[in-house]
Amino acid sequence: MWREVFLIFVLVVVSLAIFYAMIPLLCRPFWALVLWPHYRIVVHGREHIPHSGPGVIASNHVSWLDGFIVTVALPRRAWFMIFADYVNGPLVRQLVGQLRMIPVTAKGPKAQKAAIQAARSVLERGELFGIFPEAQLSRNGLPAPFLRGLEVILKGFDDVPVIPVAIEGMWGSKFSYSGGVFFKKKMQPWRRTVVVVFGPPVVKPVNVFEVRQAVREVGVTAYSLINNPPPAETIDPSLPSLPGLTVSTSDFKQGTVRQAGWKPGSVGQADRGVALRVVGSLGERLNPDQEGRLEALTAKVPVWTDTGHRARIDRGGFVSLVEPASQETAATNARAV
């Protein structure tokens, strides 16, 4: 009898060991199967993901499912940073390595330094690393400022491509903060179309402002592929006649989450489906807070168009007009958009 018991014990242990070793290979098909009944995931731009070697995937963050959606969309397995409190359970804590998760905590510089080093180790091993540089879920459907942790991770990795990613279609779902609440919205009875667009690598040298701008630009492509996307939470009718400017009526401040809905002296920021940039006299992109010509890229007009305004864009994406356009130029641009 004891031999049969011992044999069963060995078979169970071996089966669990094999399953544990197979977890990295099973993650993508497992989440694809879980998401399939409710989400139709449409992917564009996979050719921008390197077939081998290190790379960084930087995405906007509008829902609790974004990490799983990007995992399914990627042609390769990737590691992702995740808030440590989400994986503190005794079972999950033992599986974070196999699930390719890097827990991040806000409880001190030593823990944060360890998370950054873990991310750098992923790149040293020639693997993909995914990050949501806002480090928080959007409270108004628009990207918050990107944190500089991405720059710290990339220090010394000058040849590693940073691929901007835009997820469109999850704002308005029960896993987003649309309507001012998570989870308490009804699940729609049909499959929601979610578009994931990978853009070309960000031009070196990489900084978080340029990465955020690149994510907004590929977001225009993603927005154009969604049928009847839900509108932004709040559009201020007093804004000037620029394409797609939006501003929330208030800031969101709760716990460690901070997202500015407006900024005194600005005229708002680009709405979903719109990207804005400031260029110099030779058409070169300018750094944040530098004054130049304001250009817009929209889902309706997928080429950069001069708005007729001079402006500055800060690191958070807020636009400050420097010089109003003439009525004739403004009318022409309004008709173009």
Nearest alpha carbon to residue 333 among 310, 311, 306: 306
Phi, psi for residue 152 in degrees, rounded to 5: -65, -45
On whether both 203 and 67 belong to a single domain, the answer is yes
Look at 180-189, 215-224, 242-251 and tell me which has the smallest mean pLDDT.
242-251
Q: Where are the alpha helices (DSSP H) in 145-207?
A: 149-154
Residue 115 lies in a domain: yes
* pLDDT tens digits along 250-279: 677 777 778 887 788 888 888 888 899 999
Residue 9 lies in a domain: no
On whether both 184 and 255 belong to a single domain, the answer is no
The domain in which residue 311 lies consists of 245-336
On whether both 160 and 254 belong to a single domain, the answer is no
Q: Which residue in this structure is represented by tokens 């402002």? A: 209
User: What pLDDT was estimated at residue 10?
Assistant: 61
Three-state SS sequence of 20-53: HHHHHHHHHHHHHHHHCCCEEEEEECHHHCCCCC
User: What pLDDT was estimated at residue 100?
Assistant: 59
* Angle between helix 66-73 and 2-35 (nearest 10): 90
* pLDDT tens digits along 292-332: 999 988 887 778 988 888 999 998 899 998 865 444 444 44
Domains: count for the chain = 2
Residue 286 lies in a domain: yes
C-alpha distances out from residue 299 to 212, 223, 271, 303, Å: 18, 7, 11, 9
On whether both 62 and 151 belong to a single domain, the answer is yes
